[in-house]
Amino acid sequence: MISENSRLGADFFRRDAVVIAHELLGKKLVRVFPGGQTKGYRITETEAYCGQEDLACHASKGLTKRTAVMFEPGGLVYVYLIYGQYWMLNFVTGVAGDASAVLIRGLEGFDGPGKLGRELQLDGSFYGENLQTSTRLWLENAPPVPEYHSSPRIGIHYSGEPWSSKPWRFSVQGQ
């Protein structure tokens, strides 16, 4: 029996990616695995990617097959394969056309976007997954964390200033 607390609704996601990125800290990510085992994970680290003008955001390349979901309204999953090995988990944010998203970089016990993707057994079938209606991946509300830390995003040196130094990476204190 799955006990579902308050699932985060569409309104939560249809806002600014930077606000959502730090509000997601401490929230509970729920995964129902094939076979039925269900696990919940507290989010510990995130990064915001803010639309077509943000040269670190994949959507800055325009609307392509890969980035199309980012142009949808917030509340969908954006996954992509990096280095041929790791599925990266993002949630689309903002209203239609904002082309923004939040990357989940850390879960409690699973530090690093590649490692958490492996733990969650992500694959390309999660592209476009609806967090409102999905029966295998969603988010539940939880109290805000008392303190968080912000710093520049990782691995986006190529985007140049000012994007490479925007403090849009958020982590719970002590992580």
Partner DNA sequence: AAGACGATCCTG
Partner DNA sequence: AGGATCGTCTTT
Q: Among 150, 146, 156, which residue's Cα sits nearest to residue 169?
A: 150
Residue 10 or 154 having the CB closest to DNA: 154
∠11-13-17 over CA atoms, to 5°?
A: 135
| One residue of 22, 27, 28, 58 binding DNA per CB under 7 A | 58
DSSP assignment of 100-160 = EEEEEEEETTEESHHHHHHHTT--GGGTT-BTTT-SSEEEE--PPPS-EEEEPPSS-GGG-
Stretch 20-49: interaction string toward DNA, x if CB under 7 A: ---------------------------x-x
Stretch 132-151: interaction string toward DNA, x if CB under 7 A: --------------------
Q: What are the two backbone dihedrals, phi and then psi, of residue 23, each rounded to the nearest 5 degrees?
A: -70, -20
Residue 88 beta carbon to DNA: minimum distance, rounded to whole angstroms: 6
Q: Binding of DNA at residue 65 (CB under 7 A)?
A: yes
Q: How would you class 65 by CB atoms within 10 Å of its CB: exposed for 0-12, middle for 13-18, buried for 19 or more?
A: exposed
User: Both tokens of residue 96?
Assistant: 């239609």
Q: Binding of DNA at residue 128 (CB under 7 A)?
A: no
| One residue of 18, 77, 107, 156 binding DNA per CB under 7 A | 156
Residue 143 beta carbon to DNA: minimum distance, rounded to whole angstroms: 26
Query: Which chain residues interact with DNA by CB under 7 A?
Result: 47, 49, 56-59, 61, 64-67, 80-86, 88, 90, 101, 103, 112-116, 124, 153-156, 158
